[in-house]
């Protein structure tokens, strides 16, 4: 049987930092941060560098969309968390004027 700490880690690792819900179509940026594809598209529509590149909401690194990849393993992990009926953690504040909160 797994420990409560392991279950919490699985739960927290399956949640998008932008929407605070389980990942939907997860992607990972070249800097290693993961988001729902839709959340990243929505967020970067408002915040792009002057060259039109996307800016990572978490660390502020500018990159092209070529640096964003579908994260198949994260999708599998998220499906496992859902099948275990783990509730998503309580909603956090969404990103604001100063970035993620």
Per-residue model confidence (pLDDT) at position 50: 56
Per-residue model confidence (pLDDT) at position 44: 82
Query: Quick one: average pLDDT of 15-25?
Result: 93
How does pLDDT run across 30-89, given as a tens digit for each residue? Answer: 999 999 999 998 988 755 555 668 889 999 999 988 889 999 999 999 998 888 876 666
Q: Flag whether the pTM goes above 0.95.
A: no
**Residue spans per domain, the chain:** 12-83
Query: Quick one: average pLDDT of 8-32?
Result: 91
Q: How far apart are CA 4 and CA 12, in angstroms?
A: 12
Q: Under CATH, domain 12-83 is a member of which superfamily?
A: Zinc/RING finger domain, C3HC4 (zinc finger) (3.30.40.10)
Q: How far apart are CA 55 and CA 41, in angstroms?
A: 11
- 101's tokens: 């909160």
Per-residue model confidence (pLDDT) at position 8: 78
């Amino acid at each position: 049987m797994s420990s409560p700490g392991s279950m919490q880690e699985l739960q927290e690792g399956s949640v998008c930092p932008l929407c605070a819900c389980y990942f939907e179509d997860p992607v990972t940026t070249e800097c290693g941060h993961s988001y729902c594809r839709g959340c990243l598209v929505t967020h970067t529509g408002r915040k792009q560098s002057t060259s039109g590149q996307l800016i990572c909401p978490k660390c502020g690194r500018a990159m092209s969309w070529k640096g964003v990849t579908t994260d198949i393993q994260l999708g599998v992990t998220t499906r496992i968390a859902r099948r275990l009926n783990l509730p998503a953690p309580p909603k956090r504040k969404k990103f604001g004027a100063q970035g993620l909160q």
